[in-house]
């Protein structure tokens, strides 16, 4: 991770660079896609609304809020995007 994370776009770009075969910036900008951060003290994930909540060793995940696709781990092609 870079020393300074200044925006949600930085986080999205890091996910895309780490998983280029599965993710695109366009996909991550969809309103049905969210980035979640784990609250270690309660062992739950919640939607990341403020990048200042990211600390060393934070766990982040990309989550599809659409119930029909939330548990489908197979990439779908939409207009050339996965």
**Domain range annotation of the chain:** 8-68
CA 48, 50, 52: angle at the middle one, nearest 5?
A: 115
Confidence of residue 62 (pLDDT cuts 50, 70, 90): very high
pLDDT above 70 for 75: no
Residues 6+ apart with CB under 8 A from 6: 51
Mean pLDDT (the chain) is 83
Confidence of residue 15 (pLDDT cuts 50, 70, 90): very high
Question: By C-alpha distance, which of 48, 22, 18 is closest to 35?
Answer: 48
Regarding pTM above 0.85, the answer is no
């Amino acid at each position: 991770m870079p020393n300074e994370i200044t925006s949600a776009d930085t986080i999205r770009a890091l996910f895309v660079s780490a998983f280029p075969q599965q993710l695109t910036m366009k996909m991550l900008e969809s309103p049905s896609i969210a980035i979640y951060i784990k609250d270690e003290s309660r062992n739950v994930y919640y939607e990341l609304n403020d990048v200042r909540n990211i600390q060393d060793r934070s766990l982040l995940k990309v989550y599809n809020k659409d119930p029909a696709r939330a548990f489908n781990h197979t990439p779908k092609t939409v207009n050339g995007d996965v």
